[in-house]
Amino acid sequence: MGLLRDWHYVEKAVQIPALAELIREALIHALFVRDDRVLPRDLIADLNRVPPVTVKVKEDAEVRKLVRVLNGQESTVSLGLSAEDYHYFRTQLGVGRTREFGVTMRPRTLLTYDWIVPEQRGVQLDFTGYAGIEFAVDGHRAIAQVGALWKRLYDEASERGHLVPFVPTVPLDFAVGDALYGDAPFASFRGGFASYVNALRTISAYGQRARIGFEEVANYGTAYDLLHAAIPLAGEFFIPLSAALRLEAKPAARKTLTYGFDDPAKLSAGLDRLCRFGPGVNWVHITDAVAAKILRPATPPEASTVQVSLGATTTGIAAKEKALDVAMVGFKTKSSETPNPYDVSADAYRKTADTVARSLFVGEVHVPAKSFGEFLGKVRAFGDQSAAKAGAYANLHETGSVSTYPFFSAPKDRTKVYDLSKGVRAIVTRTPGAAFTSRLAHLWDEEPNFLRRMSLVRSLKLEIDEAHVVQPLISP
């Protein structure tokens, strides 16, 4: 979601002689919170330019044609617009002047915040209406268009005997595409969203249909694994239109077991043991008391709640539950009746998502399972200090890492987001083995190897998107 553009912009801005005195972080602060007193006029102008044209996509041919127009291969006449729209399109974009036009994808739901440098007078694609889902009848696969809602995919897959293995750690009403050009945190116990993507159907910067990966089979051994390299930043290289997803068979018996913990040390130890649990765990969702209250207002929350989705045969599920109880030893309460955030009606899910979305999210923190309880305590204390009550949603991975999304009950203004992000980063630097990933965290990072990696990714973008169409980079 425009990470490379923001990163490139900051990299170039610090080289401007007038800004060379300003330390990098002060510049990022000024750009992020829009402190126009500090910024030169040209930079303010860049930040004010937004894409004036939004195209609601209905079919991929439209995107192909649009890209070919934007990269100069075809004229605007070929778009077949009405006279009024034609005039609007040309004047808004400034067609005829010697300038580049970019195209950007608008995420349906953003967990954190928008990019800093907007697409400069280009076109924004709205995929809300491009939301078809095609399930395979002879296997556990689906091809979901990027506008398809995750919840719809989840429910329809279940009706057809499939299981969508990945769930959004923060239960917002995300579309599938939000994981490709937004910040949707889809994951399961066994892997991240990318591990369930067999292929992406995309449009290249030259307006060609380009399939990355294979729709029916895994992508191993086919030259470089471009698919999994590109997925987190797919919208920087191509225009993703659909994702071929690997689903699983719906297990004969499923159960959501809810464990309440009041001791952070016992919680951490339980999660650490759970990482070594064999097959059968679909996802492990963790909430603190604040998050639990948002998800289940009627249930009195424990200090921490761990929900484990188990899937097994009808005869095997009892044994799995017993083994799980052993792994989670130290819990204060246990229930098999508490509803999980995902297996509810679409209306109820949306309603909860609306409440969840009111919180201020700063990004993702990877914490070793062993330190999760301690980390949660630190975030809570930081929230209290900042007059912004803190909470967290998290997801345990079998690798022993907990993917955590801290949130704060605070107004979503950019200054607050910046300050709270900084506070979370400070906690993360004091937590061994933890890592903070967010737009701001990436921009702040000045570790030489990280900068080298980012520079390689930027070169890759410039090679793949030689036409400078897909979220093109801009320099101040």
Partner 1 sequence: MVSYNLVPLRRLPEAVEKAMEIRDKLKLNGSVQAHIVDTTTAALDPYVLMDDTKPSGGTALGFVKRMGDAAFKMEGHPMGLGLFLVFNLRKMHGNATSAYSAVKGVFDPRKKINGGKTFEVWTKYPWPGLRSIPPPGMAIGLEVAAILRRVKPTRDRFVRAYEHTKEG
Task: Say whether residue 84 binds partner 1 (CB under 8 A).
Answer: no
Question: By CB under 8 A, which span of 21-29, 104-112, 224-232, 293-301 interacts with partner 1?
Answer: 224-232
Q: Which is nearer to partner 1, 210 or 323 (CB)?
A: 210
Chain CA centroid to CA 32, Å:
19
CB of 248 to partner 1, least distance (A): 5
Q: In whole angstroms, what is the distance from residue 184 CA to residue 173 CA?
A: 9
Task: Say whether residue 460 binds partner 1 (CB under 8 A).
Answer: yes
Strands, sheet with 197-203, edge to edge from the N-terminal-most edge strand: 133-135, 141-145, 239-246, 197-203, 209-213
Q: Which is nearer to partner 1, 204 or 401 (CB)?
A: 204
- Residue in 246, 378, 380, 425 binding partner 1, rule: CB under 8 A: 246
CB of 118 to partner 1, least distance (A): 26
Residue with tokens 């007059």: 387
Q: Which is nearer to partner 1, 335 or 455 (CB)?
A: 455
Task: Say whether residue 415 binds partner 1 (CB under 8 A).
Answer: no
Kindly report the three-state secondary structure assignment for every residue of the chain: CCHHHHHHHHHHHCCCHHHCCCCHHHHHHHHHHCCCCCCCHHHHHHHHCCCCEEEECCCHHHHHHHHHHHCCCCCHHHHCCCHHHHHHHHHHHCECECCCCCEEECCCCCCCCCCCCCCCCCEEEECCCCCCEEECCCCCEEEEECCCEHHHHHHHHHHCCEECCCEECCCCCCECCHHHHCCCCEECCCCEHHHHEEEEEEECCCCCEEEEECCCCCCCCCCCCHHHHHHHHHHHHCEEEEEEEECEECCCEEEEEEEEECCHHHHHHHHHHHCCCCCCEEEEEEEEHHHHHHHCCCCCCCCEEEEEEEEECCCCHHHHHHHHHHHCCCCCEEECCCCCCCCCCHHHHHHHHHHHCCCEECCEEEEEHHHHHHHHHHHHHHHHHCCCCEEEEEEECCCCEEEEEEEECCCCCHHHHHHHHHHHHHHHHCCCCCEEECHHHHHHCCCHHHHHHHHHHHHHHHHHCCCCCECCCCCC
- Residue in 84, 159, 447, 463 binding partner 1, rule: CB under 8 A: 463
CB of 62 to partner 1, least distance (A): 18
Count of residues that interact with partner 1, criterion CB under 8 A: 35
What residues from 166 to 205 belong to the interface with partner 1 (CB under 8 A)? 198, 202, 204
- Residue in 39, 179, 239, 247 binding partner 1, rule: CB under 8 A: 247
Task: Say whether residue 216 binds partner 1 (CB under 8 A).
Answer: yes
Which residues contact residue 117 at a Cβ distance below 8 angstroms, ignoring those fewer than 6 apart? 2, 5, 6, 9, 31, 46, 47, 474
Q: Which is nearer to partner 1, 248 or 263 (CB)?
A: 248
- Residue in 86, 115, 214, 418 binding partner 1, rule: CB under 8 A: 214
Question: By CB under 8 A, which span of 9-17, 168-176, 387-395, 460-468 interacts with partner 1?
Answer: 460-468
Q: In whole angstroms, what is the distance from residue 312 CA to residue 257 CA?
A: 13
Question: By CB under 8 A, which span of 28-36, 50-58, 125-133, 245-253 interacts with partner 1?
Answer: 245-253
Task: Say whether residue 217 binds partner 1 (CB under 8 A).
Answer: yes
CB of 194 to partner 1, least distance (A): 13
What is the pattern of x (binds partner 1, CB under 8 A) and - over residues 128-167?
Answer: ----------xxxx--------------------------
Task: Say whether residue 249 binds partner 1 (CB under 8 A).
Answer: yes
Task: Say whether residue 222 binds partner 1 (CB under 8 A).
Answer: yes
Q: Which is nearer to partner 1, 83 or 223 (CB)?
A: 223
Q: In whole angstroms, what is the distance from residue 120 CA to residue 472 CA?
A: 9
CB of 161 to partner 1, least distance (A): 12
- Residue in 38, 95, 133, 229 binding partner 1, rule: CB under 8 A: 229
Task: Say whether residue 224 binds partner 1 (CB under 8 A).
Answer: yes
Beta bridge partners of 245: 142, 197
What residues from 382 to 401 belong to the interface with partner 1 (CB under 8 A)? none
Task: Say whether residue 33 binds partner 1 (CB under 8 A).
Answer: no
Question: By CB under 8 A, which span of 26-34, 343-351, 421-429, 452-460 interacts with partner 1?
Answer: 452-460
- Provide the residue type at 427 as one letter: I
CB of 199 to partner 1, least distance (A): 10
Residue with tokens 């299981």: 163
Task: Say whether residue 314 binds partner 1 (CB under 8 A).
Answer: no
Q: Which is nearer to partner 1, 195 or 409 (CB)?
A: 195
Task: Say whether residue 61 binds partner 1 (CB under 8 A).
Answer: no
Task: Say whether residue 209 binds partner 1 (CB under 8 A).
Answer: yes
Q: In whole angstroms, what is the distance from residue 62 CA to residue 57 CA?
A: 7
- Residue in 14, 22, 210, 253 binding partner 1, rule: CB under 8 A: 210
CB of 219 to partner 1, least distance (A): 9
The residues binding partner 1 (CB under 8 A) are 138-141, 198, 202, 204, 208-212, 214-218, 220-224, 226, 229, 237-238, 246-249, 456, 459-460, 463-464
